[in-house]
Structure 1
């Protein structure tokens, strides 16, 4: 199947799932599909700089990465429609809601690191996309914590995708402008 067809099939599925939740990008009125397509765009560009990159697999992951976490989609549903590898990748990218907040990201990163490098790439692309203007209700502590989490994520996924690692480093540096440090 051509990458365009894979993209269209997957984004339609993901859009329907996120629209059923009336989900928007936090701090905006933009439909959540904008975030998903931005993550997929990062993956499309990264694939051009990454020999041996499985783009069809990564595009599915990019567009579906939040469906288990944010919608009523099940693992079985993703597995039936997109295959077991995709479902396992999406599951690894999903924070375990049963864990305490402080354990969610380390747990997810540990599961991601046991899978293909394309799963790592989607996590990097997700954080690149999220390091935009933070929601207006975030205070300095929240913005700093988010930046620090991005630094940790970058360190943990080093070696996953050089192109996206560099992009994430640039976004972390650029994000500093949103952190006001009291004098």
Structure 2
């Protein structure tokens, strides 16, 4: 399995198998695999990424966090570089949700450049999804809290991808234009899936 296409398809097949019984939290209950595919597509089509290891990691980025996949399993199949990227963006589910969210903000500036790209694309897709169709049971206030928290995470990822950062700026600007809504702190004009924990 030497070709880039084969490596990418192997990661897609692995992720699809691991996430096969999972759904997003939107009212449509869309298949969870849509999310990692969308993150990889954002990297390739909007950020111009051609790095196959990074695109593989995008497809695999939720496998350890949200399935029974282990890092050892990933390393045996996809190698250390891909596994390292997945490890960088994987939350420790043994920690309370609030602590996981705090750590995402705190650790963002120290991530590797490739992990920052992956995290930007991940946040961008989640925010687009939530803006389009909020998870079932989410109040407008909870949606806004997610947007504001995501803004804090993204502030630590700045200088990584002008294209993705501009896309995020547009999302916050659109959100700020809504009635009674404020943009996230430190982002845009003023300066959030199944991934409830993001």
What range describes the TM-score normalised by the shorter chain of this pair? 0.7 to 0.9
- Tell me what 1:151 maps to: 151
C-alpha distance in structure 2 between counterparts of 1:143 and 1:47, whole Å: 26
Matched, 1:56 2:55: no
Match of 2:82 in 1: 86
The answer to whether the 8 Å contact 1:61/1:90 transfers is: yes
Residues 1:3 and 2:4 are matched in the alignment: yes
The 5 A counterparts of 1:29-68 are 29-48=29-48, 55-68=51-64
Tell me the equivalent position of 1:163: 163
CA contact (8 A) 1:140 1:180 kept: no
Taking CA–CA contacts closer than 8 Å with sequence separation of 6 or more, which of the two structures ends up with the larger relative contact order? 2
How many angstroms does 1:66 deviate by?
Answer: 0.4
Offset from partner CA, 1:123-153 (integer Å, 9 cap, x none):
1111111112211310122111110012112
Equivalent residue, structure 1, for 2:120: 124
Stretches of structure 1 that go unaligned for 5 or more consecutive residues are none
Change in Cα spacing, 1:81 to 1:108, as seen in structure 2 (3 Å) is farther
CA contact (8 A) 2:54 2:85 kept: no
CA distance in structure 2 between the partners assigned to 1:153 and 1:180 by the alignment: 24
When residues 78 and 147 of structure 1 are mapped into structure 2, their CA distance, relative to the original with a 3 A threshold, is: same
Number of equivalences: 175
Instruction: State the TM-score, normalizing by the size of structure 2.
Output: 0.78
Q: Distance in 1 between matches of 2:176 and 2:136?
A: 15
Asked if structure 2 preserves the Cα contact closer than 8 Å seen for 1:39 and 1:129, the reply is yes
> TM-score, with normalisation over the residues of structure 1?
0.84
